[in-house]
Amino acid sequence: MKDYLPLRLKAVYDTVSSDLKGRLIDVGSDHGYLALYTLENGTDRVVCTDIHKAPAEKTMKCLKDNGFEDRSEVFCTDGLDGVDLLEGDVIVMAGLGGNNMTDIMKRVVDGRDSNIVKSLVWCLQPQKSIDVLREYFSKEGFEITDERVCFDRGIFYPIVKAVYTGVPYELSLSDKYYGKVFQKRFESKERDVIEYFVRLDSRYKIRARGDGEVSELIKERGL
């Protein structure tokens, strides 16, 4: 299965590889390739969830066929419902929308032991609504520790890593829509981030026609 992992998921793995001291939990695992790759690269255990039965079964088969049945668990569930979380778990959500991600995270924050929640590392690759995700982080007290972008098959995939502190903070419009860490990478002239910002500029100029807040953002950034 050489080169089976898409570039966007390889970028997710690279973002959290140094944090993997315990388990990786892949929410919305689909085919199970990220979990498989993580196990093949030395992680001791993985947990996979998918809300749909067929992808959950596909993940289970992938891990079993490759000899990792005893080091993995697969749940057919909504987000992390029914999954016991352990201190230091790294939770990945890739391919979901920002609104869906915030719903899942809110249920964890509201329903789990606060010491466990503060020990978790979240790595998110939202398909859309990353601004909603960042706004939720600021209001609920999730600190963004890293932001990266991957260009895969003609699409830019932003990746956000965060931890829960419980301390809310203010968010500027530029921070909400472009990302505070991303802006620092842009100032450092990272090529992939520069190209990503060109795409964002174009997208937000169009969106500004019917969105007052984004119109203010465009003025703030002098676009």
Please state the separation of Cα 214 from the chain's center in Å. 23
Residue 84 is classified by DSSP as: P
1 pLDDT exceeds 70?
A: no
Parse the chain into domains and list their residue ranges: 7-170, 172-223
Share in percent of the chain as helix, strand, coil (round to 5): 50, 20, 30
Quote the pLDDT of residue 35: 97
The per-residue pLDDT for range 169-221, each reduced to its tens digit, is 999 999 999 999 999 999 999 999 999 999 999 999 999 999 999 999 999 99
Q: Rounded to the nearest 5°, which phi and psi values hold at 136? A: -60, -45
| Entry pTM | 0.95
For 104-118, what is the mean pLDDT?
95
On whether the CB atoms of residues 143 and 165 are closer than 8 A, the answer is: yes
Q: In one letter, which amino acid is 194?
A: I
CATH of domain 7-170: 3.40.50.150
pLDDT recorded at residue 195: 98
pLDDT at 2: 53
Please tell me the predicted confidence (pLDDT) of residue 3.
76
Confidence of residue 128 (pLDDT cuts 50, 70, 90): very high
Q: For the chain, first and last CA: distance in Å?
A: 45
- Band of the pLDDT at 8, cuts 50, 70, 90? very high
Sheet of 72-76: strand order equals 72-76, 45-50, 23-27, 90-94, 121-125, 155-164, 142-152
In whole angstroms, give the CA distance from residue 149 to residue 134: 15
* 153 φ/ψ angles, rounded to the nearest 5 degrees: 55, 45
Predicted local confidence at residue 4, as pLDDT = 85
Q: List all residues 6 or more positions away from 10 whose beta carbon is below 8 Å from its beta carbon.
A: 37, 150
